[in-house]
Amino acid sequence: MRARRIPVDHVVPVKDFLAIQMAGNQGVTVAQNLPPKWTPDFPPAVVVGGDGGGVDEWPVYTGDQVRVTVYAAGRTEARRIAGLCMGWLLAIRVPGIGVRPGTGLLDDRDPSTGGFIAGFTVRTRARTQPF
C-alpha cells in the first residue's frame, strides 16, 4: 500500500519566523490577519497569507506562493518593514520550508483602512507529512 501523505501549511512557518525576527521592533505585529479595526494610528502590522501553489513533486513536496503584506501609516515605513521581511526570508533559513524569491516589493494605499501597504511574495517548498 502506498504511504498516505498530506501537504503542510507553508504560511505558519513563515509567520512564526517573521514574528521572531520582528521581535522588539516598536510593537509591530505579525499575524495571518490584520488586527481588528486596524488604522494608521496603530503600530504597523505584517500579514502573512498563502496564494496557492503546485503539487508537481507530489507526494514528496508541495509548493506555495506566500504573500507578505505590511500595513503602516506611511509608504516609507511600510516599504522599510516589507524590505526587512523580504531580506530575512531570502537570507536566513526558515525552519521547515525552503524559500525562493517571488515578486519584488509593491506598494499602494489601502482604501479600507487609509493606511499604506507594501508587500511581496516568496515561493516556498515543503515536504509532505504522513497521516
State pLDDT tens for residues 12-69. 999 999 999 999 887 999 999 999 999 999 999 999 999 999 888 899 999 999 999 9
Q: Residues of the chain with pLDDT > 90: what percent?
A: 90
- Measured in whole angstroms, how far is the alpha carbon of residue 4 from the centre of its chain? 28
Asked if residue 2 has pLDDT above 80, the reply is: no
Q: What is the reported pLDDT for 1?
A: 55
Cell of 77: 515605513
How many percent of the chain have pLDDT more than 70? Answer: 98
Of 98, 94, 35, the residue nearest 70 (C-alpha): 35
Sign of CA dihedral 80, 85, 88, 91: negative
**Mean pLDDT, the chain, whole residue set:** 95
In three-state secondary structure terms, 53 is coil
DSSP reduced 3-state for 130: strand
Nine-digit cell at 14?
513563515
The reported pLDDT for the residue numbered 26 is: 79
CB atoms within 10 A of CB 36: 5
